[in-house]
Amino acid sequence: MESDNTPIKKTNYIFITGGVLSSLGKGITSSSLGLLLKQRGYSVTIMKLDPYINVDPGTMNPFQHGEVYVTDDGAETDLDLGHYERFIDQSLTKRNNTTTGQIYFSVIQKERRGHYLGKTVQVIPHITDEIKAQIKTFDGQFDFVLIEIGGTVGDIESLPFLEASRQILLKERHNALSIHLTYVPYIKSSGELKTKPTQHSVKMLMEFGIMPDILVCRTENKISKDERSKIALFCNVDEESVIEGIDVDHTIYEVPLQYAKSHFDEIVLNKLNMPLNTLELKTWEKFVHKIKFPKNSVTIGLVGKYTKYRDSYKSILEAFIHAGSINDTEVKVEMVDAENITKDNAHEFLSELDGILVGPGFGSRGIEGKINAIKYVRENGIPFFGICLGMQCAVIEFSRNIMGLTDAHSSEFDKESANCVIDLMEEQKKIKNKGGTMRLGAYPCTVLEGTKAFKAYGQKDISERHRHRYELNNEYRDRLVENGMTLSGLSPDGKLVEIIELKDHPWFVGVQFHPELKSRAVYGTPLFINFVKAVLQFHNNKEKY
């Protein structure tokens, strides 16, 4: 009798590395290739190997690392996992993101338990074996596992990951390949594309024992046949495997279409001796067309505290692109620094906007500005969407200005307040560690019929992802309802408030969860779609007068 663990199929491993400089777009390249392979009928998953020593990005500054992306199973991961999910329309897990910190932590724990039987624990083979074990966790479950190695080739931090990939490439030579993403700069003064940085990057990769099978060359200008031949010759790659990764004009969702024109996925499949199958991209092409040629346009203000670094709100910005496409509307997002908003100048910042979203965050900085912004849009009938801390600020504002609790606050920011309408969950009060100890991952929610939330979802039972420690204080629930707030979403046991609304307002909704994390290209996510629809209606009504 066969074991349940018997592999169901032969898995192909594709490693994506980057050279010359960082932020070349390995995540978008991995996501695009994943989409193309999926649209040819193959099963795909994507992993991110991150070289930092943090166990996860959960405690890292958004200005340094961008947003923390949370999966259904509660893993705090790199924002590239958001790209993966949005492109391949698949929920990933903690197994899809591995950091150096996690690898060393696991090996050290094993050593303490005597797992290595007194051997000297070393980078090779123990660290590299642990990395390979993480990569092999999907073996037999998918046709393709794409592995993006973070950082730039030559960084000392990523050497163990490169060595582990070298070993897999050697052992699995018939079903593994290496893709190297490099940069081909254009020197304006001489009018030339320079291939030397790519040559040096490939040389460095080869020093680690990895011979790239495919080169993806990021560039602002087209690469000529002569330049392509030169790159192929000096980098020991066949000419057809030098792929041009030219900058797209409008949206990252054009990238898969560009790669399809370059036959990127065909080259991968041919090298791995896999059938080409039919590539279906009509739905994706329609999605991109609506982004590039929208019929309408609105401006939404994103009020937050990390507005100087847009990647801090990456999933929110992408969710607006998805919802905009579905509503045939360009959503222009104007970043508004909450610290600058006072009661006296809120009009100056917000009056010209068609809607505002008050974003998530941690810490007291900018809180009063968010509350001032919410008061202004509530009183002036401007569509409002509050996410996580944004919802909590809406409850504080309502408590202060409608219920008359002038000292209302969250115990996160003012423990001395007599009216902490937002308070720490009981189970959180005993926890001292910061990392991975919040309410994390997907939780069910029951939506009240007849509400804006129910109209958006079209169903009573939903599931959304969370990342927070504080909740609406249940002691104030009855008073909030008596004063006109609708508690339109609750946990199935009724103990936690998940969604709040105001009835007599064009669109005023706050959610404790993060709906942006489940927004996918083509399909979007219900609340964002509904919010953009309300914003467009508000904009059109303004235009009439």
How many alpha carbons lie under 13 Å from residue 161 in its C-beta half-sphere?
32
Whether residues 266 and 129 fall in one domain: yes
Across 184-197, average pLDDT: 88
Residue 15 inside a domain? The answer is no
Q: Give the model's pLDDT for residue 544.
A: 54
The CATH number linked to 490 is 3.40.50.880
Single out the residue of 174, 129, 135, 126 nearest to residue 16, CA to CA.
135
Residue 218 inside a domain? The answer is no
Whether residues 252 and 388 fall in one domain: no
Q: Give the model's pLDDT for residue 23.
A: 82
Residue 211 inside a domain? The answer is no
Whether residues 533 and 446 fall in one domain: yes
Q: Give the model's pLDDT for residue 118.
A: 81
Whether residues 254 and 333 fall in one domain: no
Instruction: Single out the residue in 257, 285, 313 at which a domain terminates.
Output: 285
Whether residues 372 and 444 fall in one domain: yes
Q: Strand, coil or helix: what is 275?
A: coil
Our measurement of the distance from residue 101's CA atom to the centroid of its chain's CA atoms, rounded to an integer in Å, reads 21
Whether residues 462 and 336 fall in one domain: yes
The CATH number linked to 112 is 3.40.50.300
**Catalytic residue check, 235:** no
128-135 vs 159-171: helix crossing angle, rounded to 10? 60
Residue 231 inside a domain? The answer is no
pLDDT at 545 over 50: no
Angle at 245 between CA 250 and CA 277, to 5 degrees: 95
Q: Give the model's pLDDT for residue 8.
A: 61
End-to-end CA distance of the chain: 75
pLDDT of 392-402, one tens digit each?
Answer: 999 999 999 99
Lowest mean pLDDT among 4-13, 113-122, 477-486: 4-13
- Amino acid identity of residue 512, one-letter, is Q
Our measurement of the distance from residue 286's CA atom to the centroid of its chain's CA atoms, rounded to an integer in Å, reads 23
pLDDT of 7-16, one tens digit each?
Answer: 467 999 999 9
Residue 96 inside a domain? The answer is yes
Domain count, the chain: 2
pLDDT at 3 over 50: no
Instruction: Single out the residue in 285, 313, 348 at which a domain terminates.
Output: 285
185's tokens: 């700069």
Which residue intervals of 334-449 are DSSP H helices? 346-350, 367-380, 389-401
Single out the residue of 305, 391, 301 nearest to residue 347, CA to CA.
301
Q: Give the model's pLDDT for residue 311.
A: 87
Paired residues of 251 in beta bridges: none
**Catalytic residue check, 514:** yes
Cα-trace Rg, the chain? 25
Residue 10 inside a domain? The answer is no
Whether residues 471 and 534 fall in one domain: yes
Residue 76 inside a domain? The answer is yes
Across 233-244, average pLDDT: 95
Non-local (6+) Cβ contacts of 123 within 8 A are 160, 163
pLDDT of 396-443, one tens digit each?
Answer: 999 999 999 999 999 988 888 899 999 986 665 655 555 556 789 999
Residue 505 inside a domain? The answer is yes
Q: Give the model's pLDDT for residue 363.
A: 81
Q: Which domain holds residue 252?
A: 21-176+248-285
Whether residues 280 and 315 fall in one domain: no
Whether cis (ω within 30° of 0) applies to the bond prior to 212 is: no
**Catalytic residue check, 482:** no
pLDDT of 338-394, one tens digit each?
Answer: 999 999 999 999 999 999 999 998 888 889 999 999 999 999 999 999 999 999 999
pLDDT of 497-520, one tens digit each?
Answer: 999 999 989 999 999 999 999 999
250 vs 453 pLDDT, higher one:
453
Q: Of 235, 388, 393, 445, which is the active-site residue?
A: 388
Our measurement of the distance from residue 258's CA atom to the centroid of its chain's CA atoms, rounded to an integer in Å, reads 22
Q: Give the model's pLDDT for residue 207.
A: 95
d(CA 320, CA 297): 12
* Predicted model pTM: 0.93
Q: Give the model's pLDDT for residue 498.
A: 97
Q: Give the model's pLDDT for residue 64.
A: 65
Q: Give the model's pLDDT for residue 249.
A: 83
Whether residues 278 and 304 fall in one domain: no
Whether residues 323 and 455 fall in one domain: yes
Buried b / exposed e over 104-116, threshold 16 CB at 10 Å, is beebeeeeeeeee
Mean pLDDT of the chain: 92
Across 281-297, average pLDDT: 97
Instruction: Single out the residue in 240, 256, 285 at which a domain terminates.
Output: 285
The structure tokens 């052992």 sit at 171
Whether residues 113 and 56 fall in one domain: yes
Whether residues 263 and 330 fall in one domain: no
pLDDT at 2 over 60: no
Confidence of residue 474 (pLDDT cuts 50, 70, 90): very high
C-beta of residue 85 within 8 angstroms of C-beta of residue 39: no
C-beta of residue 131 within 8 angstroms of C-beta of residue 49: yes
